[in-house]
Amino acid sequence: MKLFIIAFLALASSFFGSSKLFAQDTLRINQKEAEALFLNNNLDLIAQKLSIQQAEAAIIQARLWPNPEFSLDEVNLWATRNQLSSGETIPPLFGNFGKNREFTAEFSQLIETGGKRRKRIALESVSRDMAAEYFCELIRELKMQLRSSLHELAFQQSYLNVLDTQSEAVGKLVASYEHQFKQGNVNKPELFRLRALKLELGQQIVETQKEINGLQKDLTILLHTPANGYLLIETPEMVNTNTLASLSLGELTATAAANRPDGKISILQQTHSQKKYDYEYAQRKPDVNVGINYDRGGNFLLNFFGFGVKFDVPVFNRNQGAILESKIGIDLAKVQADQTSKRIEAEVAVAFRNLQKSLTAYQNLDAAYSEELDNVLAAYTRYFVQRNVNLVEYLDFFDAYIANRKTIFTTINQLRQSREELIYATGAEIQ
Confidence of residue 190 (pLDDT cuts 50, 70, 90): confident
Q: Is the pLDDT of residue 5 over 60?
A: no
How many Cα neighbours within 13 Å face the side chain of 47?
Answer: 4
CATH superfamily, region 2-66+139-269+343-426? Outer membrane efflux proteins (OEP) (1.20.1600.10)
Q: Residue 409: helix, strand or coil by DSSP?
A: helix
Residue 179 confidence (pLDDT) = 87
Pairing of strands 230-233, 26-29: parallel
* Percent of the chain topping pLDDT 90: 64
Per-residue pLDDT band at 91 (split at 50, 70, 90): confident
Question: In the predicted model, what is the mean pLDDT of residues 78-101?
Answer: 74
| pLDDT, mean over the chain | 88
**pLDDT single digits (tens) 323-365:** 999 999 999 999 999 999 999 999 999 999 999 999 999 988 8
State the pairing for strand pair 288-296/303-311: antiparallel
Give the contacts of 25 (CB within 8 A, at least 6 positions apart).
226, 228, 229, 230
Question: Among 216-220, 236-240, 288-292, 310-314, where is mean pLDDT lowest?
Answer: 236-240
Given this model, what pLDDT does residue 21 score? 41
pLDDT for the residue numbered 369: 77
What would the DSSP string read from start to end of 330-390? Answer: HHHHHHHHHHHHHHHHHHHHHHHHHHHHHHHHHHT--HHHHHHHHHHHHHHHHHHHTTSS-
pLDDT tens digit sequence for 260-318 = 999 999 999 999 999 999 999 999 999 999 999 998 877 777 888 999 999 999 999 99
pLDDT digits (tens, 9 = 90+) for 115-169: 999 999 999 999 999 999 999 999 999 999 999 999 999 999 999 999 999 999 8
Pair 201, 167: CB distance under 8 Å: yes
What's the confidence (pLDDT) of residue 18? 41
* Res. 12: pLDDT tops 50: no
Domain boundaries along the sequence of the chain: 2-66+139-269+343-426
Q: At what angle do helices 31-41 and 43-63 cross, to 10 degrees?
A: 40
Model-level pTM greater than 0.85? no
Could you give the CA distance from residue 357 to residue 417 in angstroms, rounded to a whole number?
Answer: 12
pLDDT of residue 11: 36
* Burial classification of residue 341, based on how many CB atoms lie within 10 Å of its CB (0-12 exposed, 13-18 middle, 19 or more buried): middle
209, containing H or E segment? helix 188-223
